Amino acid sequence: MKEKYYISTAIAYTSGKPHIGNTYEIVLADAIARYKRIKGYDVYFQTGTDEHGEKIEIKARENNVSPQEYVDGVAAEIKAIWDIMNTSYDRFIRTTDKNHEKQVQKIFKKLYEQDDIYKGTYEGLYCTPCESFFTENQLVDGKCPDCGRAVKQAKEEAYFFRLSKYQDRLMEHIKLHPEFIRPESRKKEMINNFLKPGLQDLCVSRTSFTWGIPVDFDPKHVVYVWIDALTNYITNIGYDVDGSSLEYKKYWPADLHLIGKDIIRFHTIYWPIILMALGEELPKQVFGHPWMLFGSDKMSKSKGNVIYADDLVKLFGVDAIRYYVLHEMPFANDGNITYDLVIERINSDLANILGNLVNRTISMAQKYFEGRVRNTNVYTSLDKSLLLEVGELAKKVDDKMDSLEVGAAIEEIFQVLRKSNKYIDETMPWILAKDETEKGRLETVIYNLLETIRVCATLLRPYLPDTAIKILNQLGTNDEDMEFKQDLIYCVNDPEPLFQRIDKIKKMEEINTFLSNKM
């Protein structure tokens, strides 16, 4: 039986269209999911949208539509972008799904009945005109951050979760499972800022807005974000307080929750504690990935520097953008994206190193052998290092992927592609072609190249799915073994450029026109 692998992204908040920074997460998850499938895992890959809350209620009002209509629109937009990015999620959950709502109510009730949740009062600084509570450090000059007027102490009835009851168990779990929170620095932040000082009880219901899942035994309350949003990971695969589905039993606990670094607290403190209270297993790993910055600024609409994934795809193509975000994002630090950098990466890596290698190799196979190439086994010492590197490639990629270093995994493959270009220069096929007695040697050289490219293309499938298929088609093979083989027989098709080189100046003009047309 196949080993299961459950990976999730965070559910995207439907307050507006996600930019490339948000889109990075789904692409990263997709690369990992595709990789695991190739490795033979039974992968379940979930994503979706978080659709309740006050902010959405307000947005809907501003747009003169109902909250449901509003989230229907944004959720569709988000799903469309995920699809444009060619991501292979298995299921897309929305927190407005009926089953989710029902399960959340049951979970809330169960936690209440077992006294993990109790009714109390929420005390805080309240701005009456804005009808909102704020914390001390949200205030601007001691005044309401929204309207600038004075705030006052106020109380509101609310349900609370006794987090402190579980904090020792959670601390223990984090110590026993060093892989639970990644990267490491995030773990320290959680321990030092929250666990060590002691957890405060968490407010889990609201009465100040209505766009949420009602608490069924106390309907003036709606379930506040935590229990609503976080439980998506289990409700959608069949968790049920009264007995969960077989699917749930098969896939839970999740192997990896991939999330942005901004929501680590919810996933490494609140979520595990909710699960402990329910008596369920904890996810194996939570990875808080870094952010994608535009230049050195965080993207925001007010700065006017927002880049959307669908626009980038229109301008550069889906695999180019997948490549950029996967390759350029560091493991722990924030990465950045500019049009200049995207163009440089496409030209140097995709067009020159990869595209041109495939093109020149296939051209030679056509020119010297009418496209039909087999291994004639005429080796020389020049072949040694290339064959050694291809031989080790799958293992190296595997190691990097295991530690979620996706960019480094891709780099390993490109290392071999670079090596292949060098190999052509060293073996000089065009010289061999002039000497009839070197025909056998020439064919071995071309074979080594074709086979190396096949291995690389196969390994590139998780990152550049369309391009990988194109390469394999040009090679005329459907062999997707990740090891170098000695005995394939190639009958290649006509070469066709994979990525056009981009003229930076012309492209920038095109981009400016494109953006000004959108305004």
Selected range binding RNA among 71-79, 147-155, 221-229, 372-380, rule: CB under 7 A: 221-229
Hey, which residues between 346 and 375 contact RNA (CB under 7 A)? 347-348, 351-356, 358-361, 363-364, 367
User: Does residue 445 contact residue 427 with C-beta atoms inside 8 Å?
Assistant: yes
According to CB under 7 A, which one of 386, 406, 460, 498 is a site residue for RNA?
498
Nearer to RNA, 185 or 377 (CB): 185
Residues 197-218 as b or e (16 or more Cβ within 10 Å = b): eebeebbbbbbebebbbbbeee
Tokens read off for 143: 């005044």
**Distance of closest approach, residue 17 Cβ to RNA, in angstroms:** 14
**Distance of closest approach, residue 441 Cβ to RNA, in angstroms:** 15
**Distance of closest approach, residue 407 Cβ to RNA, in angstroms:** 9
Rg from Cα positions in the chain: 27
| Interaction pattern, residues 81-110, with RNA; x per rule: CB under 7 A | ------------------------------
According to CB under 7 A, which one of 4, 37, 39, 55 is a site residue for RNA?
55
Hey, which residues between 170 and 209 contact RNA (CB under 7 A)? 184-185, 188-189, 192-194, 197-204
**Distance of closest approach, residue 405 Cβ to RNA, in angstroms:** 10
Q: Which of these, 132, 300, 118, 266, lies nearest to 194 by C-alpha position?
A: 266
Cα–Cα distance list, 322 to 230, 326, 350, 397 (Å): 27, 6, 12, 17
Helix (H, G, I), strand (E, B) or coil at 211: coil
If one asks whether residue 64 binds RNA (CB under 7 A), the answer comes out as no
**Distance of closest approach, residue 499 Cβ to RNA, in angstroms:** 5
Nearer to RNA, 43 or 457 (CB): 457
Beta strands in 403-484 (DSSP E): none
Q: Please state whether 166 falls in left (phi above 0), alpha (psi between -120 and 50) or beta.
A: alpha
Selected range binding RNA among 26-34, 110-118, 247-255, 424-432, rule: CB under 7 A: 424-432
User: Does residue 59 contact residue 70 with C-beta atoms inside 8 Å?
Assistant: yes
Hey, which residues between 315 and 334 contact RNA (CB under 7 A)? 328, 330-334
If one asks whether residue 54 binds RNA (CB under 7 A), the answer comes out as yes
**Distance of closest approach, residue 301 Cβ to RNA, in angstroms:** 14
User: Does residue 205 contact residue 158 with C-beta atoms inside 8 Å?
Assistant: yes
Q: Which residues contact 279 (CB under 8 A, 6 or more apart)?
A: none
Hey, which residues between 12 and 31 contact RNA (CB under 7 A)? 13
Tokens read off for 155: 């109380």
Selected range binding RNA among 59-67, 239-247, 258-266, 480-488, rule: CB under 7 A: 258-266
**Distance of closest approach, residue 361 Cβ to RNA, in angstroms:** 7
According to CB under 7 A, which one of 62, 129, 135, 506 is a site residue for RNA?
135
Q: Which residues contact 302 (CB under 8 A, 6 or more apart)?
A: none
Selected range binding RNA among 22-30, 99-107, 168-176, 223-231, rule: CB under 7 A: 223-231
**Distance of closest approach, residue 454 Cβ to RNA, in angstroms:** 17
Size of the site for RNA (CB under 7 A): 72
Q: Which of these, 68, 54, 48, lies nearest to 205 by C-alpha position?
A: 54
Nearer to RNA, 129 or 197 (CB): 197
Question: Max Cα separation, the chain?
Answer: 93
**Distance of closest approach, residue 136 Cβ to RNA, in angstroms:** 8
Report the alpha-carbon distance of residue 211 to residue 288 in Å, rounded. 28
Nearer to RNA, 13 or 308 (CB): 13
Tokens read off for 216: 């069924």
Beta bridge partners of 9: 258
**Distance of closest approach, residue 8 Cβ to RNA, in angstroms:** 15
Q: How far is CA 79 from the centre of its chain?
A: 14
**Cα angle, residue 461 at apex, residues 258 and 370 outer, rounded to 5°:** 170
**Distance of closest approach, residue 80 Cβ to RNA, in angstroms:** 20
Nearer to RNA, 40 or 497 (CB): 497
According to CB under 7 A, which one of 18, 67, 283, 335 is a site residue for RNA?
335
Beta bridge partners of 143: 140, 150
Hey, which residues between 437 and 496 contact RNA (CB under 7 A)? none
Selected range binding RNA among 47-55, 85-93, 237-245, 389-397, rule: CB under 7 A: 47-55
Nearer to RNA, 311 or 328 (CB): 328
One-letter amino acid for residue 12 of the chain: A
Report the alpha-carbon distance of residue 506 to residue 27 in Å, rounded. 28
Q: Which of these, 21, 22, 25, 16, lies nearest to 45 by C-alpha position?
A: 25
If one asks whether residue 77 binds RNA (CB under 7 A), the answer comes out as no
Report the alpha-carbon distance of residue 515 to residue 308 in Å, rounded. 11
Place of tokens 């889990």: 204
**Distance of closest approach, residue 373 Cβ to RNA, in angstroms:** 13
**Distance of closest approach, residue 271 Cβ to RNA, in angstroms:** 13
If one asks whether residue 137 binds RNA (CB under 7 A), the answer comes out as yes
If one asks whether residue 265 binds RNA (CB under 7 A), the answer comes out as yes
Nearer to RNA, 110 or 360 (CB): 360
Other beta carbons less than 10 A from residue 386's beta carbon: 22
Nearer to RNA, 33 or 337 (CB): 337
Selected range binding RNA among 169-177, 382-390, 499-507, 509-517, rule: CB under 7 A: 499-507
Cα–Cα distance list, 409 to 31, 93, 274, 323, 400 (Å): 11, 30, 35, 12, 5
